[in-house]
Amino acid sequence: MLRSISVPLAVLDGGWQAWEAGGHPIACGDETGGGETSAAPVTGPLTPVPRPGMWTGIETVGAVSRGERPGTLVCALPPGGFEGSVPSRYSRRGHIPGSLSLPGRGLLDGTGRFLAAAQLAERVGSVLKGDESPVILYCGGGISAAGTVLALTLLGRKDIALYDGSLEEWSQEPSRPLATGT
């Protein structure tokens, strides 16, 4: 989200648990800035600068699925969600036709950190197989897909868009096809 409006950011690989496990300092304070913390908050004006192409909508996804527009659809759901073999909270089970499966959780190690660069490249490469067309990622509601966008970004891909409506939106309309199986 922040990248899409040109806000500089960093992601804590492995989350809060990795920070604590690394022995890094932790400061506490109340909402008014008091407490144990001594660092002054960084403040200043924020001027969002939208970066076109980082998000995509249902019409573009449909056009890519039908082969009317270049691109590769990638579903970041776990295998059972992609195949439609497990219960789902969405209106219908399965994946958008023409999609490839790249489960977002499969890009993390046992501690919640992204796989080492070589492993990550191998895992992604086994799905995308050198495909250089634009990549559109989706999942159920955009969360797993956002992590997968970050993984592809770490590998140097720049032609990535997130369909944040994902299956939550796609599956609501019975006329939009869903495929099951691998």
User: What amino acid positions are annotated as catalytic residues?
Assistant: 139
Contacting residues for 82 by C-beta, under 8 A, at least 6 apart: 75, 94, 95, 99, 101, 103, 182
CA distances from 12 to 9, 50, 148 (A): 10, 24, 15
SS3 state at 62: helix
Cα–Cα dist 49/4, whole Å: 8
